[in-house]
Structures are given as structure tokens and as C-alpha cells.
Amino acid sequence: MISTKIFGRTGHASTRILFGACALNNATQEQADATMTRVLEAGINHIDTAVGYGLSEERLGPWMETHRDRFFLATKTDKRTRDGAWAELEGSLRRLRTDHVDLWQMHVLVDEADWQTSMGPGGALEAFVEARDQGLVRFLAVTGHGLQAPRMHLQSLERFDFDSVLLPYNYSLMCNPQYSAEFNMLLDLCRERAVAVQTIKSIAWKRWGDAPPTRNPWYKPLESQNAIDAAVHWVLGNPHVFLNSVADMDLLPMVLDAAARFEARPSDMEMTALVQEYGIELIFD
């Protein structure tokens, strides 16, 4: 059984693991239907998608028509202007076949120039506030990839009172002293303000390098159940965060299985042994 936790200040009791619908980016409708059936059977009640996730929104649309009340629904835009973001929101609502999304997110907002545009006059933030005022979205958030994500999220929260943040989090990343310090600083602020913290890249292994990718994610994910168990349980061992599932339909059942069996966080000694056994590396410069 996957436990639930109130998602920040939203009042929604989201499952600790969220369905990362990037897994559906190249899916047929038949594959998406099978995946969503699995998501429902696992009791997952929170979906995270984005305009940039290929066919994801389109594949989710038929499910939202009949199961909208079962899910807290989040999507994202990487447009930095008011008009660009607004146009993408209209497209998202059309593809998702709904009249509103629960969480709208500024996607990968980690570049300073993008940040200045988004937060300035005529920027995406204007569309976000307007959409919330009109009831097209309920809550607002920022997401980020890379080692600069915690620092940029702190900057975003200084500028605007967002309801959620999303960023990478795994054992190897938290062995990086600067990233760990900035992540914990962000986590403390989010706890103080009741801002939900979503995490990604829980089962990241290494970059693909010269080998052709054999999985959907842009990085090579862990593939054995034991390794996935340890990585997932380590993230869930932090009671203040949510875990966004893997962007791979075939690995999703293993991640959900690991989450359902979570009892305790592996020790640092166990995680160090895992890193050494698999040669886990940072996937970000």
C-alpha cells in the first residue's frame, strides 16, 4: 500500500509517489491505457505531465474524461512570456480534455535569462496568476533540472509564493556538498511555507555515453529490482518529499512495487555499497 501525504498547502492527500507521465511521451493509446490501468490499480492519485512530454497530454485525455475526479493533475509549460504560456495552457486543457488543471508549473526554470523574462513584465508569471484567478489552474509551481535547481528555486520563492517546487533528488546527488546544502536550505524554506517538494531522478544510474539508449529517459536508469528498491526507499525515507516515478513504462511497475513495500530508509553504508556495486554517477555537470 502506497501511503499518502498532504501536498503542501493544497489540502490534497497525494500518494507519496506521483505518476510521471513523461513515460507516455511515445506511447500508443493502447500502451497508455495499460499503463494508466496499472497506475489506478496501484492507487496513485496524482499525475505530473507537461506540454514537452511528446504525446503524454494527448494520451491522458481519454482518461481525464472519465477519471478526472480520481487525480490531482499537474502539467507544465516552458514558455517564458505571458502570451506563449497562455497559448500552451489552452492547448493543455484541450489535449487533457478538462476545464482546469490542479497544478501549473514553469518547466525547467533554471537559466537566469529565462528567469528574468518569466518573472518580468509580460512574462509567464502574469499568465500563471491570471489563469489562477480565472480558475483554469488551482496552484502554481516551478520545476528545475541540474545542480543549480535548488538555488534557482530559492530565488523563485523570493520573487513569488509558489505552491510547489520540483527538482532532482537521490543519494549520489546529496553526496555533493554544495547541492546537498542548497537542497536542504530549500527544503527548510518549503517546510516553513507549506510548499510541496516533488523529486525526480530517484533511480538515475549514469549517462548513456556512447551507447545507444535502450530506455525512454535521457539518462540510464537502474534496472534491477533490488537497486530500484534501495533508490526508491532512500527517497521515500525523507518524509518531507514526494517521488515522481520513472519516465519508462516498463520500469514503472518495479518503481510502484518498491514504493508499495517501503518500510525504512536504507543506511548510508547500504547506499554507498549500492553506488560502488553499480558505479552510479552524477548525471548532471
pLDDT tens string, the chain, 285 residues long: the values are 899 999 999 999 999 999 999 999 999 999 999 999 999 999 999 999 999 999 999 999 999 999 999 999 999 999 999 999 999 999 999 999 999 999 999 999 999 999 999 999 999 999 999 999 999 999 999 999 999 999 999 999 999 999 999 999 999 999 999 999 999 999 999 999 999 999 999 999 999 987 778 887 888 999 999 999 999 999 999 999 999 999 999 999 999 999 999 999 999 999 999 999 999 999 998
**Residue 270 sits in which domain range?**
4-278
| 53 domain residue, yes or no | yes
Global pTM?
A: 0.97
| 285 domain residue, yes or no | no
Distance of CA 77 to the CA centre of its chain: 13
- CATH code for the domain in which residue 77 is found: 3.20.20.100
| 284 domain residue, yes or no | no
| 283 domain residue, yes or no | no
Count how many domains the chain has.
Answer: 1
